[in-house]
Chain A
């Protein structure tokens, strides 16, 4: 179990990476789009600390926090966003597809809900290979209304697979509140009983609460107890994507959630534990330095090699489809 101060530092690194991504985007150094996870850090960092290195993680297009929590460096992530040859996916994926396969972070998927069945398959594979690995799918509240979510929960339940379904309920899909398009109050947790699955709604901004809930669910899965649905309530600090100013969110709501910023909550707990302020400040400064160095390194990295457009289609590395 990692000390809270170290979890704090990891969250601080993710927070600053997201800030850097936003700044680089506004400076025109990142093309396309980004879906920043600032505000969601406790879900990724807390969950990762409850998982083993050989467990499988599947994330969404809002997935920078999961890649970094799993061990991707801010530098390789930012380089990917900046279309650099040193990008984590050789600049073929971009912001929405950060992947760290050697840390069993098996991808970020941008078709809403598509990766839930994949996580089920990874858990199925673990049981057939006789390991006690678990697989975790992180997804948004919006994914709970797509067919793949329901097919995945049912199959995982009937096959009693070691899989965790972790919903990051940030109250909104793109611009529309989940509550306005869903007939139940807790879009993930309230569906679980229909599949005979246990579920819990948790504070997704409290890194220790997340760690504890994921640890319990992972243990149940390893012990043969089957899947669990966790619904972590959280909030995004930026808009949905790019320069979305998120004007559709009431000011009061934003203020309340910013007061419950996962970093603020962790800092309060650290002070309560008697950790000196200077030590927390030193961790913040360290995060600042790590990300500043990552930005510099990514900026000066070589651009993606155009020839890479024609590699990695097939297992032999080629793109050859005909004679």
Chain B
């Protein structure tokens, strides 16, 4: 872990949103085979402004505006990836992955395997994921669990600006296909900017807060929620360790199991629905391989199994909040 306490004054602060464009731009500068395609990503610089500056710097032969054709976007990215490019395809909202799901479920993850290793698809599908902005049921879902169900896809979901840049570097350089979930609710969040040449390897979780009583495993938007809960619980004398998984595939279970060895208690915080959420797999591995480490049942705090409602008062009922996480940890600590 990098020492974040030194030189706090001199660290530049940036947003998660700007870090997306920065991460892509760094890779486009170092590798001319990296090209971007998607809806409104060029001159318009993206509906979430996550591609600001790319069209200006790299021009229309590197940054391509497409029709509203999710299958053509991801299918063409696949064909280009097989033939010498490293495409970065944007699917505007992760909900729309359903419109090109064939490519993510049947084509991209399987083609290396079913050809006996003859073909390679080094591409990144980036997409704005998750709720908290009141966009309603078809524009707010956290669907990282969709990608997590498909063997052959790497799945990345950063929570901080620096991790966005470092993981983007690894994702684009990877010879495996990567689905890169950018969280809509984090776009405006701030943090230290990534240093030059920052690369975060895929599949390494980060212990973002050390503690001794309970382990909280989180991803993307649930990392700040878990950290806020940990802060509140510290005042009550409960010491919480927070792990940011950063990737679902590869899944860094070693870091999770080592933490549970120290704390003996585990709470998993997910924004995707409890029903079929990734935390079920994390829990089952800990139950299988870490049963003796546990002093209490594993708890999952995940989204409720309903479509995402529009109103804040309703959405708050469905998505994990600081208070629901705090309450779950408090109860487990007392178990």
Indicate if B333 sits at the interface (CB-CB under 8 A). no
A175 to chain B, nearest CB (A): 23
CB-CB contacts of A91-102 with B at 8 A, as 1s and 0s?
Answer: 111000101111
Q: Do the beta carbons of A117 and B78 come within 8 Å of each other?
A: yes
Q: Do the beta carbons of A93 and B251 come within 8 Å of each other?
A: no
Q: CA separation between A115 and B102, bound complex, in Å?
A: 11
Q: Do the beta carbons of A117 and B252 come within 8 Å of each other?
A: no
Q: Do the beta carbons of B80 and A122 come within 8 Å of each other?
A: yes
Residue of B with least CB distance to A118: B79
Indicate if B326 sits at the interface (CB-CB under 8 A). no
Name the interface size band of chain A.
Answer: 35 or more
Residues of B within 8 A of A121 (CB): 75-83, 87
Q: Do the beta carbons of A154 and B69 come within 8 Å of each other?
A: yes
Q: Do the beta carbons of A129 and B79 come within 8 Å of each other?
A: no
Indicate if B304 sits at the interface (CB-CB under 8 A). no
Q: Do the beta carbons of B115 and A119 come within 8 Å of each other?
A: no
Q: Do the beta carbons of A322 and B85 come within 8 Å of each other?
A: no
CB-CB contacts of B192-208 with A at 8 A, as 1s and 0s?
Answer: 00000000000100000
Q: CA separation between A121 and B107, bound complex, in Å?
A: 14
Q: Which residues between 113 and 162 of chain B lie within 8 Å of chain A, taking CB atoms?
A: 113-120, 122, 151-152
Residue of B with least CB distance to A120: B76
Most buried by A among B111, B251, B254: B111
Q: Which residues between 42 and 97 of chain B lie within 8 Å of chain A, taking CB atoms?
A: 61, 64, 66-67, 69, 71-72, 74-85, 87
Indicate if B174 sits at the interface (CB-CB under 8 A). yes
Q: Do the beta carbons of A155 and B79 come within 8 Å of each other?
A: no
Indicate if B186 sits at the interface (CB-CB under 8 A). no
Q: Do the beta carbons of B75 and A148 come within 8 Å of each other?
A: yes
Indicate if B175 sits at the interface (CB-CB under 8 A). yes
Q: CA separation between A202 and B78, bound complex, in Å?
A: 30
Q: Do the beta carbons of B251 and A117 come within 8 Å of each other?
A: no
Q: Which residues between 78 and 129 of chain A lie within 8 Å of chain B, taking CB atoms?
A: 87-93, 97, 99-102, 106-107, 109, 111, 114-126, 128-129
Q: Do the beta carbons of B102 and A111 come within 8 Å of each other?
A: yes
B304 to chain A, nearest CB (A): 27
Q: Do the beta carbons of B151 and A135 come within 8 Å of each other?
A: no
Q: CA separation between A272 and B240, bound complex, in Å?
A: 87
Indicate if B103 sits at the interface (CB-CB under 8 A). yes
Q: Which of A13-21, A38-46, A306-314 lies at the interface?
A: A306-314
Partner of B116, one of A87, A135, A315: A87
Q: CA separation between A322 and B203, bound complex, in Å?
A: 8
A108 to chain B, nearest CB (A): 9
Indicate if B171 sits at the interface (CB-CB under 8 A). no
Q: Do the beta carbons of A89 and B116 come within 8 Å of each other?
A: yes
Q: CA separation between A315 and B177, bound complex, in Å?
A: 9
Q: CA separation between A151 and B84, bound complex, in Å?
A: 23
Q: Do the beta carbons of B114 and A135 come within 8 Å of each other?
A: no
Partner of B72, one of A56, A123, A152: A152
Q: Do the beta carbons of B71 and A117 come within 8 Å of each other?
A: yes
Partner of B78, one of A102, A118, A317: A118
A310 to chain B, nearest CB (A): 10
Q: CA separation between A178 and B162, bound complex, in Å?
A: 54
Residue of B with least CB distance to A116: B75
Q: CA separation between A320 and B251, bound complex, in Å?
A: 10
Q: A313-B112, A320-B250 are in contact. Are A117 and B76 (CB under 8 A)?
A: yes
Indicate if A256 sits at the interface (CB-CB under 8 A). no
Residue of A with least CB distance to B256: A323
Indicate if A147 sits at the interface (CB-CB under 8 A). yes
Q: A89-B115, A107-B119, A118-B76 are in contact. Are A321 and B61 (CB under 8 A)?
A: no
Residues of A within 8 A of B84 (CB): 125, 129
Partner of B118, one of A101, A116, A119, A315: A101
Residue of B with least CB distance to A158: B67
Partner of A147, one of B71, B119, B253: B71
Residue of B with least CB distance to A121: B79
Q: A114-B102, A323-B251 are in contact. Are A315 and B77 (CB under 8 A)?
A: no
Q: Do the beta carbons of A56 and B83 come within 8 Å of each other?
A: yes
Q: Do the beta carbons of A128 and B107 come within 8 Å of each other?
A: no
Q: Do the beta carbons of A117 and B116 come within 8 Å of each other?
A: no
Q: Do the beta carbons of A125 and B79 come within 8 Å of each other?
A: yes
Which chain A residues have a beta carbon within 8 Å of chain B's beta carbons? 56, 58, 87-93, 97, 99-102, 106-107, 109, 111, 114-126, 128-129, 135, 147-148, 151-152, 154-155, 158-159, 308, 311-315, 317, 319-323
7 contacts between A and B (CB under 8 A): A56-B83, A87-B116, A99-B116, A119-B79, A151-B72, A315-B120, A322-B252
Which chain B residues have a beta carbon within 8 Å of chain A's beta carbons? 35, 61, 64, 66-67, 69, 71-72, 74-85, 87, 102-103, 106-107, 111-120, 122, 151-152, 174-176, 203, 249-255, 285
